[in-house]
Structure formats: C-alpha cells, structure tokens
Structure 1
Amino acid sequence: MIVTLDDSLLQIEPTFKIGIIHYTKIVVSPSPQMLKGRLQLFQEQLFFEMEEKKVTEFNGIKEWRALWKKFGADPNRYRHSTEALYRRIAKQNYITPMHSAVDLNNFFSLQYEIPMGIYDFHKIQGDITISLGTEDSQYAGLNGRENVLKNIIALHDTAGAFGSPFVDSIRTAVTKDTTEAIQVVFLRPSISQEEGEKLLHSIGDMFHQIHGGEVNSILLSNEYKEWRN
C-alpha cells in the first residue's frame, strides 16, 4: 500500500502534518476495565474543566478550527471530530464504550485534542491519498448520514472517500473482527517533526499494549509526502 499526502493540502498549509500508524496481527475486543475507567475519568475531568473554560479555548480545538477555516470549510457547521466529542462531554453526554480500538482512539483524541481515525486495513481498496475533499468526496458515515467532504481533508482509496477528521465511513470501520488496521493521526500543524514522531510512538505503544501485534508508523509532511508499506 502507498499512502500519499497530496499537494492540495500542502499548498494551503505548508506545515500540515499527518501521522500514519499501521497495526498488524491485532486482537480487538471489549475494552478492558482499565481503559473504560480512564476514558470515563478523563471525560469527567473535562466536564468540570469546561464549566470554567469554553470548548474553543482548548489549544488543539482552536488550532484545528483555524485550519478548518483555512481549507475553506465552516468550523461552526462542520465541526471536526474532537470538537464534537468535547461538546458532547460539556453536556455530560459521555462516550459509550464500543470496543478496544475505537475506545482507545477516542481517548487519544480527547487527550491530545486532535482528530483521529482508525480503519480496517482489509476494507481499504488499493492505495490511500490524503487530499482536500471535493463534492465527489462523499460516503455513508458513522453519524448515520451521507456526508459530503467539500473543502474538508479526506482520505481516498480506489473506491472513493472513506475517512476524514470530520466523520468516518461505515465502509472501512474497525470491528471486533479486525486483525489489521490503519490509524490516522491528524496532527496540529504547529507541532515539530520530532514531537510528532514521539507522539506517534507513544500512541502506537499504548495501542500495542492492549491489542498485541506489530506496529509501524510514519509522519507525512512537506518533507516526506509518501509512504510505501
């Protein structure tokens, strides 16, 4: 598989960076109590913090809203997934555990204040291109709606769009049957190359502790736009 970061994004934001983590031989299961407890506790802490602090004042949320607008999308109409999670928590509408892969992905997203996606490797068709979405970039999403990703960062394979920092598709969703996955970490542009790589290793290590298997990661940027895996 080849993963390519398209120039359509880099021309608008030259410091744009994205992390790709490839997991093989993993076992997805109901979340262990440790993960459920940490996810619940973190949400409760965020709820109390947001009684004094607006969602848009969190650095990661703020930076991604600015990036959203820079790419031409309305951050108030199409909120990136992390902001949507924070707004749920502000209403005490806490995330319901699903399974270990999704729950850990949500925990990372909340902790680092960045959108993240995780996809079943075997449901992806061909190579992946990460580019600015058009009116043709659309799919049935996990939000129960048909989503059009115009001016929103989108992941495409040969069958079409399948993921974004807005909402992911049903087609490539990870389930308890998934044994190989691609995790996409939508990093803040302000993060350095070194900090980004450390973050990817940290995420990969914790995912490995729960799911086993093997981990391989890469950070794509203006300096390194393609990964052949």
Structure 2
Amino acid sequence: MIPISLHPSLFQTVPTFKIGCISYTSVTIDTPPQELQGRIDLFQKTVELDLEEHPLTYYEGVKEWRQVFKQLGMDPGRYRPSHEALFRRLKQGKGFPSSDSSAIMLNNFFSAYYQIPIGLYDSDKLKESVEVRLGKETDEYEGLNGRINHMKGKLTNVDHQGAFGSPIVDSKRSAVTPETENILQLLYLPPSLSTDDANDLTESIGEMFRQIHSGYVKTAVLTEQQPQTH
C-alpha cells in the first residue's frame, strides 16, 4: 500500500478523526453485473421513499459529516460531502450518476449505503506518498465536476505532485478508468465510529469490492494512534 499519513492538525479539532485505507491490486473493471445493478436499484428506491418524508439530515451520516466540516472550518452549506450530494440526487429523483464502470458504481453505492464520503483513485497515477490534511493556498486540481477546485482550507488528499482528491470531489488526474489495475480507496469514516468498528467496516468494504473485481486487497485504518501505513 502506498504510504499514507494524516496531518497532526486534524486531531486538534477532531480528536477521533480516522480514515479507512484500502489498496487493491490486479483488479478487473467491467460493466456492473446485473445482480449489483438490481441491488442498487432497490436501495435507490428505498432512499427515494425515505426522502419523500424526511430531510437529508434523517441520515446520521449526513448530520455527522456536516458537523465534521464545521469543526474543520469548512462551510457544509457551500461545500457538500460527496455522500450528501448523492442523497440530494436521489431526493430530486435523479438517481445515482450513470456509469458503465463497476468500480465507480459500487463506490457510489457504498458511499450512500454506509453514509460516508469515499474516494477512489488509480494508485499508478499517484506519486510516492499521500497525506490527508487541510489544503494550502496552492492546492487545486481539475475535478470530476469539470471545474478547477481550489482546496485552501478544505480537507484534501495530497501526493508529491499536488492535491488530487477530497471528500467533496475527486480529480481527473487520479480518476479510475476501465484500464485501471491498481486502486487506492479512502473511506472518510465517521469520527464517532469506534476503531474496532472502523476496521470491520473497512475490511468488509474491501472484501465486497474484491469479490466484484478480483485481484488482491489490503486494508488499514488510520487514527491518531496509528498515523501512517505502508
């Protein structure tokens, strides 16, 4: 697994901040299998029905990550966690973003199902090591949303080439494509989750992803007590 670290300043405002790290190697990305599509469709309909009667904050994962953004000095009304953006799509009847990639579709499903932002990156496009920290003045990237995203003051992932992702939107530079063979998946876990439960969830997501895409998987959870992984 590529070396990953969390900047110590994150724990000053969110003492139980934690990230789940999953490394996949030798994966095969294809169109989503019919069984997966069926499960996603059923889940989507359930969420749409729930959100006809409830606000987005009906989901604890939405409430908690809004609070985390506030603690980190980010405005959750202006910069939305990616899983909240998915719930907003479902509430508006737009469904999940369409994709012919099993990896992207499954990642979106996990993000909504477990109510957490999840980043998915082509490991071979990342340089040397990764740090999760608040962005600096010079941190920016072209996002999958088609815009230049300025990351100053926002939670972001940075390698030796610069910023490449966040719990808001990821970059084109690190995007997973049908040709991708090695993947880094970062789970922005709820700080309220215990370390044991965080490890269980990270391992579970890793194994489910591997079952669809074959290959090999390694997982780790980064906390203040375990600041770095290789």
What pairs with 1:1-229 in structure 2 (closer than 5 Å)? 1-95=2-96, 96-228=98-230
Alpha-carbon distance in structure 2 between the residues aligned to 1:135 and 1:91: 35
Q: Which amino acid aligns with 2:209?
A: F
Alpha-carbon distance in structure 2 between the residues aligned to 1:84 and 1:105: 14
1:175 Cα deviation after fit: 0.6
Alpha-carbon distance in structure 1 between the residues aligned to 2:62 and 2:92: 17
Alpha-carbon distance in structure 2 between the residues aligned to 1:39 and 1:144: 26
SS of 1:119 mapped into structure 2 = strand
- Is 2:30–2:100's contact at 8 Å kept on the other side of the alignment? no
Alpha-carbon distance in structure 2 between the residues aligned to 1:180 and 1:210: 14
1:202 Cα deviation after fit: 0.7
1:135 Cα deviation after fit: 2.6
Q: Which amino acid aligns with 2:30?
A: S
Cα deviation per residue 1:116-175 (whole Å; 9 max; x = unaligned)? 011001000111011111232210000011111222211000110001000000000001
Alpha-carbon distance in structure 1 between the residues aligned to 2:126 and 2:21: 14
- Is 1:155–1:162's contact at 8 Å kept on the other side of the alignment? yes
Moved >6 Å (runs of 4+): none
Alpha-carbon distance in structure 2 between the residues aligned to 1:74 and 1:35: 34
Unmatched tracts of structure 1, length 5 or more: none
Deviates more, 1:156-165 or 1:128-137: 128-137
Alpha-carbon distance in structure 2 between the residues aligned to 1:106 and 1:210: 14
1:200 Cα deviation after fit: 0.7
Q: Which amino acid aligns with 2:173?
A: R
SS of 1:165 mapped into structure 2 = coil
- Is 1:156–1:163's contact at 8 Å kept on the other side of the alignment? yes
- Is 1:36–1:97's contact at 8 Å kept on the other side of the alignment? no
1:40 Cα deviation after fit: 1.7
Alpha-carbon distance in structure 2 between the residues aligned to 1:62 and 1:149: 22
Q: Percent of pairs identical after alignment?
A: 44
Alpha-carbon distance in structure 2 between the residues aligned to 1:169 and 1:24: 21
Normalising by the residue count of structure 2, what TM-score does the alignment of the two structures yield? 0.97
- Is 1:137–1:149's contact at 8 Å kept on the other side of the alignment? yes
Normalising by the residue count of structure 1, what TM-score does the alignment of the two structures yield? 0.97
SS of 1:20 mapped into structure 2 = strand
- Is 1:73–1:150's contact at 8 Å kept on the other side of the alignment? no
Q: Which amino acid aligns with 1:137?
A: D
Q: Which amino acid aligns with 1:131?
A: R
Alpha-carbon distance in structure 1 between the residues aligned to 2:81 and 2:114: 14
Aligned residues: 228
SS of 2:52 mapped into structure 1 = coil
1:98 Cα deviation after fit: 3.2
1:57 Cα deviation after fit: 2.6
Alpha-carbon distance in structure 1 between the residues aligned to 2:59 and 2:151: 25
Unmatched tracts of structure 2, length 5 or more: none
- Is 2:11–2:224's contact at 8 Å kept on the other side of the alignment? yes
Alpha-carbon distance in structure 2 between the residues aligned to 1:166 and 1:136: 18
